[in-house]
Structure 1
Amino acid sequence: MTTSGSIFLAGASRGVGHQIARILATQNVPVLALIRSSAAQSDLQALNVETVVGDALNPTDVTNAMNGQISAIVSTIGGMPQDGQRADFLGNKHLIDAAANKGVSRFILVSSLGAGATKDAIPATAYEALASVLADKEKAEQYLMDSGLNYTIVRPGGLKSEPATGNGILTLDPHVAGSITRSDVATLVCRCLASDAAQNRVLSAFDKNMVYGTAAYREFVV
């Protein structure tokens, strides 16, 4: 992958974000990672990933973190609320605003199946349990699509912490869902970074051997 600057990665401390950092590091792609806690710094720095400690819920932290030349932003943030606020919408809003102000046009948002048109693709019980989180993720998706930035939204299904299978796929079809490992999601996101075809697309991600049900779909190749 050839870039004209660093990939600004929010959410690199763990999960999909950390796996993305690892993949980009092996490709010698410069990464600037925004992390909430310094606990993850040593591990990331061992990968030659530059880190800055800050909170995506604080717009000043986000603005100050985006130093130097940045070619694209990848956000995997979300999860448990802090001081009553969740980063799924507000944190991503701050990242999108900062990207627009800095003139960074490329933004990849890792969201979730169940958001937007994929609501009916996941079991009703799962949607009910995650309804408030998915509502915030959907707001972030819409804010990004309305921002004028060159976006890609990746909606992974049920996340697994097992080793990568290499069977992760993307589709434009909002009616299909399945599970996928975090490592395979990270691989798909990195492919999207290098793909013109993935620009201004909303894509579902799952393992082709972990599909829920028997629905047919067409794979989106990046």
Structure 2
Amino acid sequence: MATTLHRSLPFRLSLPLKSSLTPALIPRNYFSFSAMAANATSSAGDDAERIEVESDVKVEDNNNDKKKKKIFVAGSTGRTGKRIVERLLSGGYGVRAGALDLEKARSGLPQDPGLQIVRADVTEGSEKLAEAIGDAEAVICATGFRYSWDIFAPWKVDNFGTVNLVEACRKIGVNRFILVSSILVNGAAMGQILNPAYIILNVFGLTLIAKLQAEQYIRRSGINYTIIRPGGLRDEPATGNIIMEPEDTLYEGSISRDQVAEVAVGSLCCPDAFYKVVEIVSRSDAPNRPVVDLFAAVRQS
């Protein structure tokens, strides 16, 4: 188990939490989500793939329970996105799962009456994404670009794709947005510009900088956001407990994708997670604390 060092640093992003420039929206089912927050428990809880939307969104027929709170997951067939879908379904949520490859989604995601699979592409603009989001009440973004010769891929997916999702939410009145990002996105301001992880992750099209720009857009948008910055992602089950710190604090460490999914789903209805940026890794010597308590202990700068 990797030992994680962390420290508080004076560098912080000084961006507005809400924008006076954005038009006022009446959030879809805002009050129902507020009521859910009072009953939220810690048991609810990247490399995710980009998604693609066609002009006619294709939705699989199923007997989805319309009474369930429905969440749209972007990047649902990725290694983190798949775990988020599974945790949502096990927690009683309905899920609209965005996937580039519908066959992969059908074979890889759980067979569940609460699951709808839609074809979508975050790079194709907010209008089509709004169709894909449909009647979902919140969005969890776990997308990530595919390695290729296209040096602009990180910007198309991790930056502009995320912006498109936010704009789609604003168009249809969805006011809850959770982003799975990465530690070290603000590494230059943290004094970590020579950190090997910062260098390696920026080799492919300045990936971390693209993610940081997307984060800044979210924070200016006025949407109710939670930005989760995990350390290095592991496919293996968790072997330690979650450590959660404020933004621009952690500069090394790793975490199981299962735990990232736990935090993402747990943040949905947790008031202490609203309008907050957190960083997470795991350590074997960390105490086992509920997700809601972890969020409550972090103060947004």
TM class by shorter chain equals 0.7 to 0.9
Q: Could you say what secondary structure the match of 1:89 adopts? A: helix
Q: Could you say what secondary structure the match of 1:7 adopts? A: strand
Residue 67 of structure 1: aligned partner? 134
Residue 214 of structure 1: aligned partner? none
User: What residue ranges of structure 1 are gaps of 5+ in the alignment?
Assistant: 212-218
Matches within 5 A, 1:46-125: 46-48=111-113, 49-59=115-125, 60-68=127-135, 70-80=136-146, 84-86=152-154, 87-116=157-186, 119-120=190-191, 124-125=195-196
Higher strand share: 1
Q: TM-score, normalised by structure 1?
A: 0.86
CA separation in 1, counterparts of 2:259 and 2:273? 17
CA separation in 1, counterparts of 2:231 and 2:144? 15
Residue 161 of structure 1: aligned partner? 235
User: What residue ranges of structure 2 are gaps of 5+ in the alignment?
Assistant: 1-32, 37-66, 287-293
CA offsets, 1:10-45, max 9 Å, x none?
011021111010011111101111111112223325
Partners of 1:172 and 1:202 within 8 A in 2: yes
CA separation in 1, counterparts of 2:121 and 2:158? 13
Residue 31 of structure 1: aligned partner? 95
Change (3 A) 1:173 1:103: closer
> Which one scores higher on RCO, CA 8 angstroms, separation ≥ 6?
2
Q: Could you say what secondary structure the match of 2:226 adopts? A: strand
| 1:78 CA displacement | 1.2
Q: Could you say what secondary structure the match of 1:46 adopts? A: coil
CA offsets, 1:153-178, max 9 Å, x none?
00000111101236123221522242
Q: Could you say what secondary structure the match of 1:175 adopts? A: coil
Change (3 A) 1:155 1:167: same
CA offsets, 1:53-99, max 9 Å, x none?
1111111431221212x221100101226765331011111100000
> Which contiguous aligned blocks of 4+ residues in structure 1 show a shift greater than 2 angstroms?
1-5, 41-45, 81-86, 116-123, 173-177, 208-211, 219-222
| 1:21 corresponds to which of 81, 85, 95 | 85
Task: Work out which of the two has the higher radius of gyration on C-alpha atoms and give 1 or 2.
Answer: 2
Aligned residue identity for 1:162:
E
With 128-137 and 118-127 compared, the bigger mean Cα shift is at: 118-127
Q: TM-score, normalised by structure 2?
A: 0.65
Aligned pairs, number: 215
| 1:209 CA displacement | 3.0
